[in-house]
């Protein structure tokens, strides 16, 4: 156990017992515990394997390369259609966590083997995403904006396409594009 991570579990308002049990299970698999992105993250030889996080409706064990795992129990969930690599197992009770203890360890050990093998999740190319019309207009108007956008990492580019495109109304898409142009020019992503 990493004492720097204790505060996460101590401050948990919901799912505290479930998350603490998940922590014990994961630590029993000889992974290194750290705090990353504000949540407990567990790694093998400095490679992220799994993390624990909580939401309103559930807490979860998230496998970074879950898409490459076999999932014989059919319990790995893709959070949204845009999540390419990660998969999570969700819990709404301590009983569920306890019941799956052996299965969870099996999944964790498989995730470690995926990492040891150096497997990579084939990610969709940025060109496979639709560029929202409102954003395309701005890119066509400004060479400076186009150059700044093209300099962003593929993940940041996809993040903008998804964020802009998620708005149902053209007016909302236009407002989002306008608001985020300065961030793009600074070389930052939607969540930076």
Could you tell me the pLDDT band of residue 1, with boundaries at 50, 70 and 90?
confident
For 62-86, what is the mean pLDDT? 93
- Residue 11 in this model has a pLDDT that exceeds 90: no
The CATH class given to the 3-116 domain equals alpha beta
Could you tell me the pLDDT band of residue 182, with boundaries at 50, 70 and 90?
very high
DSSP string of 114-151, one letter each residue: HHHTT----PPPGGGSPPPHHHHHHHHH-HHHHHHHHH
User: What pLDDT score does 126 carry?
Assistant: 80
pTM over 0.85: no
User: What pLDDT score does 62 carry?
Assistant: 97
Domain spans of the chain, in order of start: 3-116, 126-185
Read off the pLDDT of residues 120-149 as tens digits, 9 standing for 90 and up. 988 778 877 888 999 999 999 999 999 999
């Amino acid at each position: 156990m990493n004492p720097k991570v204790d505060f996460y579990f101590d401050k948990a308002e919901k799912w505290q017992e479930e998350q603490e049990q998940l922590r014990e299970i994961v630590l029993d698999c000889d992974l290194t515990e750290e705090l990353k992105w504000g949540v407990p993250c567990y790694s093998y030889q400095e490679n992220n394997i799994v993390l624990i996080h909580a939401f309103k409706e559930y807490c979860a064990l998230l496998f970074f390369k879950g898409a490459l795992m076999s999932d014989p129990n059919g319990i790995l969930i893709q959070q949204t259609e845009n999540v390419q690599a990660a998969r999570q197992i969700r819990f709404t009770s301590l009983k569920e966590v306890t019941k799956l203890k052996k299965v969870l360890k099996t999944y964790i050990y498989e995730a470690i083997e995926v990492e040891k093998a150096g497997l990579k999740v084939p990610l969709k190319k940025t060109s496979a995403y639709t560029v929202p019309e409102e954003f395309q207009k701005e890119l066509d108007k400004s060479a400076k904006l186009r150059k700044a956008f093209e300099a962003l990492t593929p993940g940041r580019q996809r993040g903008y396409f998804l964020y802009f495109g998620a708005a149902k109304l053209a007016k909302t898409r236009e407002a989002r594009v306008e608001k985020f142009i300065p961030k793009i020019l600074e070389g930052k992503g939607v969540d930076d």
